[in-house]
Amino acid sequence: MDFEIKGIIPAMVTPMDKEGNLNKAALRKLTNHLIDGGVHGLFPVGSTGEYYGLTLDQKREALEIVIEEANGRLPIYAATGMITTKETIQVTQMAEDAGADAVSVLTPMFIRPSENELYNHYKAVAESVDIPVLLYNNPARTGVNVSADLMEKLSQIDNIAGIKDTSGNMTLTGEFIRRTPDDFTVLAGSDTLILSTLVYGGKGAISSTSNIAPELIVRIYEEYIQGNIEEARKAQFELAPLRLAFSLGTFPVIMKEGLKLMGIDAGDTLSPVESIGEEERAKLKGILDNLGLI
């Protein structure tokens, strides 16, 4: 691996037109918006990117567009988790073939695999490619939690390089950090816990709100790295209203609505997720106004 997994990595939305096709121009504009915001990597076709509603060809096309537009300026991480091991390997190998620098693999959802089954699943996926594999723990969405015991075992597999933890449980996040090697990367998945994760020894975040406010979220990381804890804390608290605004609609509509208010046509979310109402849009606009984003 010729790059270090660290920093602020936006979980990108996938701009779509009304027919459900990729809006290529908007995706390119979003890619540059994020890079201009100082982010340290890009993470397309994940849960924020509505991967669950994209075909394999759409995932490949979106990934190739982001890779082409980024043009080597920063690493590209592709989300490749599916329910079965076979399909996860298929999508992971597609991402490697398309040129992704690393992949992130969500725990299987709906089914409830045992720890031994999860270990074998991740081991098989990691052995199917040569690029780094990040685990993704999001028990609220999948019903499956990666334990510290399992994480310690998985961290010994050669190209399992880290984990995005969206458990919201700082005790568990701390155990992931404490019980894995120093070169293993633990990333925050909850945007309200970026600074907390950094203080514990994490190395950054895969962040959905950084679609809208990349510079603010990068500031949390950069101020912390420079030892300016109070400035990092101020930036973390400044971000809070935007993250809490997720409650104004069904995930991930707020990111798309916010981008549209900022002049980036992110399109609509895939049905059954609907646009927010005028009252909610006015509240979101007020938050973006307060952050100086529109």
273 lies in some domain: no
- The residue annotated as part of the active site, out of 77, 136, 221, 224, is 136
Task: Show the tokens assigned to 70.
Answer: 């980024």
Cβ-proximal residues to 76 (8 Å cutoff; 6+ apart), any chain: 41, 42, 43, 44, 63, 66, 67, 70, 99, 100, 101, 102
291 lies in some domain: no
Per residue in 234-277, pLDDT tens?
999 999 999 999 999 999 999 999 999 999 999 999 999 999 99
Cβ-proximal residues to 227 (8 Å cutoff; 6+ apart), any chain: none
> Does the pLDDT at position 112 exceed 70?
yes
54 lies in some domain: yes
CATH number at residue 110: 3.20.20.70
**Angle, CA 209 vertex, CA 204 and CA 210 arms, to 5°:** 60
**Angle, CA 128 vertex, CA 9 and CA 91 arms, to 5°:** 55
Per residue in 65-74, pLDDT tens?
999 999 999 9
DSSP state of 108: P
Is 52 an annotated catalytic residue? no
214 lies in some domain: yes
The boundaries of the domain holding residue 38 are 7-231
Q: Tokens 């076979």 correspond to what residue?
A: 86
Strand ordering across the sheet containing 102-106: 7-10, 204-207, 185-188, 160-165, 133-137, 102-106, 77-79
Residue 25's CB is within 10 A of a number of other CB atoms, namely: 11
- The residue annotated as part of the active site, out of 164, 221, 224, 256, is 164
Q: Residue 1's pLDDT is what? A: 61
Q: Indicate if the alpha-carbon torsion angle 245, 241, 244, 33 is positive or negative.
A: positive
Distances (CA, A) of 281 to 80, 235, 237: 32, 24, 22
Q: Residue 84's pLDDT is what? A: 98
Give the residue-averaged pLDDT of 127-152.
Answer: 97
| Confidence band for 22, pLDDT divided at 50, 70 and 90 | very high
Q: How many domains does the chain have?
A: 1
Q: Residue 28's pLDDT is what? A: 98
> Does the pLDDT at position 217 exceed 70?
yes
Q: Is 48 annotated as a binding residue?
A: yes
23 lies in some domain: yes
288 lies in some domain: no
0.85 exceeded by pTM: yes
Is 285 an annotated catalytic residue? no
> Does the pLDDT at position 18 exceed 90?
no
Q: Distance (Å, rounded) from C-alpha 132 to C-alpha 115?
A: 21
Per residue in 171-213, pLDDT tens?
999 999 999 999 999 999 999 999 999 999 999 999 999 999 9
198 lies in some domain: yes
257 lies in some domain: no
